[in-house]
Amino acid sequence: MLSDDALDWLTEHGSWLTRAVSRTVSDWIETLTNGLVAVPPWLAIAVAALVTYKIGGRKVGLLTLAGLLFLWNLRLWQATVETLVLVILATLAALVIGIPVGIWFALSRRAWRTFSPVLDMMQTLPSFVYLIPALPFFGLGAVSACFATIVFSVPPVIRLTALGIRNVPSELVEASDAFGGSASQKLFKVQLPLALPTIMAGVNQTMMLALSMVVIAAMIGAGGLGRAVWQSIQRLEAGAGFEAGIGIVIVAVILDRSTQALAARARPHGAS
């Protein structure tokens, strides 16, 4: 088939690039994971609880403290760290790609009309499909899982960034034009600040989608809590699988509450 021939050509002629990218991303993942695992778990948990307390208040801080202590007690601390590293790296990469693309779509109706069907398709494809193009380029392992997660989780932040900018009241945009503001000043001083709560909602959705790929990514060699679930399925160990599944839920709730608190802080005073 034509698609198979094109993929073979890309993997053959672009292998030098994919190898370089794979080594770089693998080094980042390994360095961050080893660095966090080297920190005493009690200290890392205390710091995480303090950070989430500052972000989301007492309830979020206590939730983080209790949840991470529970995972440490279950001997899932290293798996939790591996999961967090993968999710955070994938989310950051998705935001670096998605926010500028969302700004472009918001400012260009032609670009939005052209690529909106692509976003629709990306959000309706089964998550397993994203593993297919990653494997020929990066092979089995955390790197393929990271890239598949990035592609899977980037559409929400693109959509919500564009939506947030488009929903800025036209009166404020016109006022900026009336005062002689340049396009960049209008974007960075009016549109983006007012769109920030909507963009933060996109960050939240992107992070949740990245986390939802954890178990699926374990099928191609990613570590973390997803691998614990996958191994439990293969070995028919229901108890161990349930514990790892609870771990994923705890991590999801902590990340969700933290990003929701950041979104609430970004909301202008007086907005509902």
Q: Is the pLDDT of residue 102 over 70?
A: yes
**Residue 72: how many other CB atoms lie within 10 Å:** 16
Structure tokens at 192: 């983006």
Contacts with 55 (C-beta within 8 Å, 6 or more apart), sequence order: 258, 261, 262, 265
Mean pLDDT over the full length of the chain:
82
pLDDT at residue number 272:
45
User: For residue range 229-247, what is the model confidence (pLDDT) as tens digits?
Assistant: 888 887 888 888 888 889 8
CA pair distance 203, 262, nearest whole angstrom = 10
- 38-97 tens-digit pLDDT: 999 999 999 999 999 998 888 999 999 999 999 999 888 999 998 888 888 889 999 999
User: In Å, how far are 13, 63, 110, 270 from 175, measured between CA atoms?
Assistant: 52, 44, 25, 21
Percent of all residues in the chain with a pLDDT value above 70, rounded to a whole number: 89
Model confidence band, residue 18 (pLDDT cutoffs 50, 70, 90): low
Q: Which among 55, 53, 155, 161 is positioned nearest to 105, based on CA atoms?
A: 161
The pTM for the full model equals: 0.84
What per-residue confidence (pLDDT) applies to 270?
Answer: 46
Q: pLDDT tens-digit profile of 142-168?
A: 788 888 888 888 899 999 999 998 888
d(CA 152, CA 131): 10
pLDDT at 117 over 80: yes
pLDDT at residue 27 tops 60 = yes
Range name among 30-34, 120-124, 200-204, 248-252 with the lowest pLDDT average: 120-124
DSSP state of 191: I
Separation CA 191–CA 183 (nearest Å): 10
CA–CA–CA angle 247, 81, 32 (5° rounding): 165
* Cα(232)–Cα(239) distance, integer angstroms: 8
List the domains of the chain with CATH numbers.
2-38+74-266 (1.10.3720.10)
Tokens representing residue 16 in the block = 């030098």
Query: Could you say which DSSP state residue 270 is in?
Result: T
